[in-house]
Amino acid sequence: MNFVGDWHALLVLVLAGFLPNEVWRMLGLWLGGGVDEGSELLVWVRAVATAILAGVIAQILVDPPGALASVPDWLRYAAVAAGFAVFAMTRRSTLFGVIGGELVMLAGKWWLG
Amino acid sequence: MRSVGSTVLALVLFATYLGIGALAHDSHFSLGWALTSTLLVWAGPAQIILISTLGSGATVAQAAIAVTVSAIRLFPMVVSVLPTVRAPGTKRRQLILVAHFVAVTLWVECVRLLPQVPRGRRIVFTHGLGAGLLAVCLVATTLGYVLAARLPELFAAAILLLTPLAFLLSTARNCRQLADVLALVLGLALFPLAARLHTGADILISGVSAGTIAYGVHWWRARE
């Protein structure tokens, strides 16, 4: 396989990734103004977008790719719960939460041997 | 304090893209493909949705629908950033690259930094900021990809864990209304149920139903 992969992989990237994502930026550029950020439609859209992202997060945790599958289920969930606890205790610091969750996962793996 | 604020955001962004690079590696995409996705898509959530849906066997159409729903949030961001960037007489085509660079980190930084920049220089400033953040993320994508390939299993797992941690916490941080919080919690809870249906569109099913329930609760409470 060469650097980018084959043309098919690149075409899939453009069709499934670039175009469906970029269309909203360009619509914002062409239609901008006239949209109220607090409108009810946008509240629903944001809720669905948030839930889709939450689903992807759950998918990575429940059915992990590659090396993450070597971490036992309970330890993955415990690490994320610990990260969330640190985040909540540090006035919503994403950075400290991420560090806390990573440390719990590394400590757990080290302890398991 | 301001520079510390931007350092922390840049670190989280770096960690996010380390995770995306590692995820691309472990989902069997090439490094060039991963870098092209950072360059063209330039939106963390869309990239992890793209990589994990395609990686788990979804069709191009299913992946495109999930990506486009996640990207709708870019629309109001672009709409809110452009008036602060443009000067009288700015042509629309001069703003195409600014619109492409809009993503959550750039949006937050624009709100914070642009008021200190003279109006005539704001397009140049935003191009510089966007290109700088993009360069950081391309380095992080490469590093995450290479590290996932070379590191012992323990550290590769740690890099992969960055993605769910960073996205869960930054999404939780951005929750503004009850509907957002409910959508996050229900979205996490409903995915394992939807996955049992084995339709291939699990993420869309759990996302649309969790999001709609969250919105329904919001609407019902607003009526009270």
How far apart, in whole angstroms, are the C-alpha atoms of residue A59 and residue B221?
30
In the predicted structure, residue B2 carries a pLDDT above the cut 60? no
Q: Determine which of B70, B160, B169, B180 to mutate to test the interface with A (most A C-beta atoms within 10 Å).
A: B169
With contact defined as beta carbons under 8 Å apart, do B211 and B183 qualify?
Answer: yes
Query: What is the distance in angstroms between the Cα of A3 and the nearest Cα belonging to chain B?
Result: 5
With contact defined as beta carbons under 8 Å apart, do B28 and B171 qualify?
Answer: no
In the predicted structure, residue B199 carries a pLDDT above the cut 80? no
Would you state the pLDDT for residue B90?
83
Of B49, B71, B154, the CB nearest to A24: B71
HSE of B15, CA atoms in CB hemisphere, 13 A: 23
Q: In this structure, which amino acid lies at residue B69?
A: V
Q: Which residue of B has its CA nearest to A32?
A: B79
Q: Determine which of A15, A52, A63, A91 to mutate to test the interface with B (most B C-beta atoms within 10 Å).
A: A52
With contact defined as beta carbons under 8 Å apart, do A49 and B167 qualify?
Answer: no
B163/A60 touch (CB, cutoff 8 Å), yes or no: yes
Sequence-distant (6+) residues with CB within 8 A of B151 are B159
Residue B20 touches chain A, beta carbons under 8 Å:
no
Query: What is the distance in angstroms between the Cα of B147 and the nearest Cα belonging to chain A?
Result: 12
Q: Residue with structure tokens 């602060």?
A: B84
B102/A25 touch (CB, cutoff 8 Å), yes or no: yes
Rounded to 10 deg, the angle between the B122-150 and B104-113 helix axes is 140
The predicted-structure confidence for B58-75, as pLDDT tens digits, reads as follows: 899 999 999 998 888 788
The predicted-structure confidence for B77-123, as pLDDT tens digits, reads as follows: 788 788 788 888 888 889 999 999 998 778 777 877 888 899 889 99
Query: What is the distance in angstroms between the Cα of B116 and the nearest Cα belonging to chain A?
Result: 23
How far apart, in whole angstroms, are the C-alpha atoms of residue A35 and residue A20?
20
How far apart, in whole angstroms, are the C-alpha atoms of residue B106 and residue A39?
23
What is the rounded average pLDDT for all residues in chain B? 88
Distance between start and end Cα atoms, chain B = 42
Residue A60, token pair as written in the block: 């990575």
Residue B24 touches chain A, beta carbons under 8 Å:
no
Q: Is B184 exposed, middle or buried (0-12, 13-18, 19+ CB in 10 A)?
A: buried
Residues 65-94 in B contacting A (C-alpha not used; CB under 8 Å):
65-80, 82-83, 92
Please give the interface size between A and B, counted as residue pairs whose CB atoms are below 8 Å apart. 331
Of A56, A67, A93, the CB nearest to B153: A67
Quickly state the pLDDT bin for A1 (edges 50, 70, 90).
very low
Sequence-distant (6+) residues with CB within 8 A of B176 are none
Q: Where are the domains of chain B?
A: 2-159, 175-224
B75/A27 touch (CB, cutoff 8 Å), yes or no: yes
DSSP B151-212: S-HHHHHHHHHHHHHHHHHHHHHH--SHHHHHHHHHHHHHHHHHHTT--S-HHHHHHHHHHH
The DSSP call for residue A18 is I
Sequence-distant (6+) residues with CB within 8 A of A83 are A97, A98, A100, A101, A102, A104, B165, B168, B169
A52/B207 touch (CB, cutoff 8 Å), yes or no: yes
What is this model's ipTM?
0.85
HSE of B40, CA atoms in CB hemisphere, 13 A: 20
Quickly state the pLDDT bin for B1 (edges 50, 70, 90).
very low
